[in-house]
Amino acid sequence: MPMPSKRRSVLVHSSVETYTPPDTSSASEDEGSLRRPGRLTSTALQSHSNTEPWLELGRATQGSSTSSSASSVSSHPGGRPAAALTGPAAHAHIDVRSAPPDVTTGLVELSHCGRPQLAAVRGVTRGDSGSVLETAGGVPVNSRVSSKIQQLLNTLKRPKRPPLKEFFVDDFEELLEVQQPDPNQPKPEGSQMVVLKGEPLAVGVPWPPSLLAALQRWGTTQPKAPCLTALDTAGKAIYTLTYGKLWSRSLKLAYTLLNKLTSKNEPLLKPGDRVALVFPNSDPVMFMVAFYGCLLADLVPVPIEVPLTRKDAGSQQVGFLLGSCGVALALTTDACQKGLPKAQTGEVATFKGWPPLSWLVIDGKHLTKPPRDWHPQAQDAGTGTAYIEYKTSKEGSTVGVTVSHASLLAQCRALTQACGYSEAETLTNVLDFKRDAGLWHGVLTSVMNRMHVVSIPYALMKANPLSWIQKVCSYKARAALVKSRDMHWSLLAQRGQRDVSLSSLRMLIVADGANPWSISSCDAFLNVFQSRGLRPEVICPCASSPEALTVAIRRPPDLGGPPPRKAVLSMNGLSFGVIRVDTEEKLSVLTVQDVGQVLPGADVCVVKVDGTPYLCKTDEVGEICISSSTTGTAYYGLLGITKSVFETVPVTAGGVPVSDRPFTRTGLLGFIGPDNLVFVVGKLDGLMVVGVRRHNADDLVATALAVEPMKFVYRGRIAVFSVTVLHDDRIVLVAEQRPDASEEDSFQWMSRVLQAVDSIHQVGVYCLALVPANTLPKAPLGGIHISETKQRFLEGTLHPCNVLMCPHTCVTNLPKPRQKQPEVGPASMIVGNLVAGKRIAQASGRELAHLEDSDQARKFLFLPDVLQWRAHTTPDHPLFLLLNAKGTVTSTATCVQLHKRAERVAAALMEKARLSIGDHVALVYPPGKHTEASLGSVLTGTLCSYKADTRSFAVGFFIKAQVIPRSGTGAPSGWLHGDQSAVTRHVRLASCPSQPRSRASHLSQSPLCPQNKTWV
């Protein structure tokens, strides 16, 4: 049997019986399948129209902005000029963009003919009657001008300053060694790709007007038809939900949500509000009822994972999502609520970062039957939000992808056509039914087509990996929805099972077919189960993302699908973003399978990842973009990144948009291969830029697992991510080691992994850390939580048992020796402009809103008015606390106390000092230690004096008391000399020391103190 890893072991070949089923791998939260280079045939990608022409394209030379002028004046006595003077030539600016090399972008300077030329022509010819010239200010002048003056005017027209970006250069970047590109690196040579159009949606099919209309139809006409069967951990069917029960329970829940929940005699929920769905993976029935109940009530369901503890990995980010969505109610079951962490009062505990939530148990006894005349609001497939699906980014932040009712209906229609679903078919679902393909196929599309779904819980798969195959056999399922992880686990447990048959399957949908390692599981699974009725054309990988939903899916030949394809690609070429076919005998190759054709009714193209979304060339890897009515619509509440992801406009090399409809970025890196098939080589979230090359985290995981696979790493649990060191990504590999592993075995394995990564990927590993088994943070389905692992690594709380640091092999851009700059640098230029008073950048805040009379806090524009208002509204609110050296509170000041003291000081200033409006008042208080001042404390006394100055309309300024010497011969720079022309009168305010008179007399006699000043 072939090894379950994509790569052959570089050291030892062992039988598959010695392996443990993997629990996870890399950026996929619950993927554990391994990869291997199977006995694959290299496909001649050059035969395809999109990948065949490896045309030689000349490299562009660097263009520059030029200007030239010519004047020819021929005058004769009494005659007219022989020729009209022409204006300055066009200033042609050629925008040359050179994107950094990666798996999506080739390192090639784009030719001038491939970029739009922006020309600004100012010269004008006005006939032969005279010479017409424009001055630098644009004023036309009729005169005979010499060529020198013309040249001077042209010079004045040029920009007087360099571009703004040249001013803001990190000085530290100038000290780093610049990574020089490899002159022998591969470059894309193909022609520009064209937009790939999917097959049109079927016309004339009686589609339901909405998903809820389909539910109502099946619930009333086919009430006893099975909809969903739930299994327990032993594999027994515990409940079968019929379409009639689904319809009636959803109606009860919708009525309860809209009419029976109140807050302060007002409905708690109104149409359009968001509601959290908190259900375990073992209870698909109640989740389905809650989901459709929310849709019937015109509420927006937000499915999330069940929080097991207060310190779950990523729980705080989920709470942020709930807060930003304004979620105030969570739906759950009685059994799930009892398992949630509880506070001392017995209520559900408040999780860190979560907003205050009300919990509603939706078991049957808690719902109210609606009246006969009550009907839910009609739900048309409009632009309103249907549901929000959460997504965790590479950095660990959680965002919500909104899916509209129109997109929901279009997705169900497209999947029905692509997969050929029909009524009463049985689908076996192993995936998470709350999100991704498990939700789209097992909860939404199945209802539209009145299908029967058999849901396999995750706990059953861990106890019996063959359970899904057994259910396919017993229910005669026509379709199955799995991941490569499930296929791999089945291979390990299939011995001794002779009575299973997969002949009933017409589609085995591999949801993670976009992952490079899925091909090994698909090939191995076919080799074993082909003798048990599995046909090769049944295996159908697909590609999807939270933003774009389903992007592409392979179809059987009876549905019009082309033969499957495989590609053996050079990993060195992929690291530069170039497609190069290689031979599978090498270790440094990546074998990928196609993920089928694009979804019906969709347009797909591949664009560059960085900068302007230019179309890639046919032999170039880029980010796949899709334009379809089936995609998500936005990130909830995040308008900025929504525009950059969901409203992308790809352009050709000439800058012309390829379509009048916006595209959605999928986050998948790939290319279009033969027969218009889509190939995916990685994900944007797993991309790491090291030097001038790009690597995928999943590829590094496969290489690490190929080193004595599964003998050392505990259940295949490896996390790969990057950290930034010296403005560059550095690779970090963290793995869980087996409990019986010795320290010597650990370092031997780490050394071999370093060698394998260096030989296969030509890149160094910055840090390789081993942790005890089951200590890495887990994702909801048991996989590794990558972003939380990275956070612990950066915070120093990972607690590894073995660490191998290799900075010398991967940090190659060390700082250069400091040298004296021969010319003026950017820092000097920016300082010079600032000194000269030139504004080189400007930032403006938003305009202040109009001050409403009802808002009392905004009516007071002056500090004394605010203090007076606070003294009346919140008199006992403590404003300031004074602490001593031991940290204990020695004095306090409330709003009313501060206001009264400020009034007393203001009265003293007006009566004793006889101040006028605009007089200057010095505030002299010793900082730090408190003194027994008449105003209570140094801090409160100072502030009271300042408040008093503002109330008496004087100008106060602070002066340190320590700068006043007892017998000074010179004036310190911190003391202000009296200037009768500048200051009308100085009044000194001081906190009362232990000897106020002597202190005041000493100050008045100081040579630094202006004479005739009053002390209060």
The listed range with the strongest mean pLDDT (81-85, 855-859, 899-903, 1004-1008) is 899-903
Give me the sign of the Cα torsion angle 342, 347, 351, 352.
negative
Mean predicted confidence (pLDDT) in 563-578: 92
> What is the spatial distance between Cα 240 and Cα 225, in angstroms, rounded to a whole number?
10
| Bridge partners of residue 386, in order along the sequence | none
**Across 776-869, where does the E strand assignment appear?**
802-805
Say what the pLDDT of residue 974 is.
38
Lowest-pLDDT range of 27-41, 577-591, 899-913: 27-41
Q: How far is CA 435 from the centre of its chain?
A: 18
Q: pLDDT at residue 410 above 90?
A: yes
Domain contains 740: no
Structure confidence at residue 804 as a pLDDT band (50, 70, 90): very high
Which residue did the predictor score with more confidence, 870 or 417? 417
Residue 21 clears pLDDT 50, i.e. is over it: no
Tokens 């010398």 correspond to what residue?
808
pLDDT value of position 461:
92
Nearest to 419 by CA among 506, 504, 501: 506
What's the rounded mean pLDDT across residues 423-450? 96
Please tell me the predicted confidence (pLDDT) of residue 647. Answer: 94
Is position 157 within any domain?
A: yes
Question: How large is the average pLDDT for residues 784-807?
Answer: 92
Q: How sure is the predictor about 159, in pLDDT bands with cuts at 50, 70 and 90? A: low
pLDDT value at residue 181: 73
* Mean pLDDT, range 229-233, rounded to an integer: 94
Domain final residue, candidates 148, 167, 182: 182
Residue 593 lies in a domain: no
- Tell me if 525 is assigned to some domain: no
Last residue of a domain, one of 164, 182, 200: 182
Q: For residues 934-938, give the mean pLDDT.
A: 33
Distance CA 613, CA 652 (A): 9
pLDDT attached to residue 175: 60
Domain for residue 421, yes or no? no
* Spatial contact of 770 and 375, defined as CB atoms under 8 Å apart: no
pLDDT band for 856, please (50, 70, 90 cuts): low
Residue 483 has pLDDT above 90, yes or no: yes
Q: What is the pLDDT of residue 122?
A: 37
Mean pLDDT of 539-544: 96
Mean pLDDT confidence for 117-127 = 38
Identify the pLDDT of residue 741: 87
Residue 127 · residue 160 · CB < 8 Å = no
Domain ranges, residue 178: 59-182
Query: Does residue 104 lie in a domain region?
Result: yes
Q: Is 70 exceeded by the pLDDT of residue 472?
A: yes
Which band of pLDDT confidence, cut at 50, 70 and 90, is reported for residue 914? confident
**How large a percentage of the chain has pLDDT more than 90?**
43
List pLDDT tens digits, range 590-636.
999 999 999 999 999 999 998 899 999 999 999 999 999 999 999 99
Task: Sort strands 117-120 and 91-94 into parallel, antiparallel or unpaired.
Answer: antiparallel
Average per-residue pLDDT in the chain?
77
484-493 helix and 518-529 helix, angle to the nearest 10 degrees:
40
How many domains does the chain divide into? 2
Split at pLDDT 50, 70, 90, the class of 324 is: very high
Give me the DSSP letters along 551-614.
EEE---GGGTPPPP-EEEEEHHHHHTTB--B--TTSSSEEEEEB--EEPTT-EEEEE-SSSS-B
- What pLDDT is attached to residue 676? 93
At residue 631, the pLDDT reads 96
Gap between the Cα atoms of 1006 and 513, Å rounded: 86
Residues 52-59, mean pLDDT to the nearest whole number: 34
| pLDDT score for 411 | 96
Q: What is the CATH number of the domain that holds 960?
A: 3.40.50.980
Average pLDDT over residues 489-500: 80
Q: What is the DSSP string of 384-399?
A: SEEEEEEEE-TTS-EE
pTM of the model: 0.68
Kindly report the CA angle at 602 between 597 and 606, in degrees rounded to 5?
75
Q: Which of 32-41, 170-179, 214-223, 896-905 has the lowest mean pLDDT?
A: 32-41
Which of 142, 157, 182 marks a domain boundary? 182
The pLDDT > 70 percentage for the chain reads 70
Query: 353-408: per-residue pLDDT in tens?
Result: 899 999 999 987 788 899 988 888 766 777 899 999 999 988 888 999 999 999 99
Region 283-309 average pLDDT: 94
Which of the pair, 929 or 578, is modelled with greater confidence?
Answer: 578
Q: Is the pLDDT of residue 965 over 70?
A: no
What is the pLDDT, as a whole number, of residue 311? 79
Spatial neighbors of 348 by CB under 8 A, at least 6 apart, are 337, 340, 341, 342, 357, 359
Whether 12 shows a pLDDT value over 90: the answer reads no
* pLDDT band with cut points at 50, 70 and 90 for residue 927: low
Is residue 451 in a domain? no
- Whether the predicted pLDDT of 963 surpasses 70: no
More confident residue, 256 or 950: 256
Task: Look at the chain and count its residues.
Answer: 1016
Q: Pick the residue with more confidence: 855 or 798? A: 798
In this structure, of 92-101, 128-137, 479-488, 753-762, the range with the lowest mean pLDDT score is 92-101
- Residue-level pLDDT at 162: 54
pLDDT score at 151: 78
Residue 797 predicted with pLDDT over 70: yes
Which tokens in the block code for residue 456?
Answer: 């396999």
Residue 68 is assigned to a structural domain of this protein: yes
The confidence band for 569, taking pLDDT boundaries of 50, 70 and 90, is very high
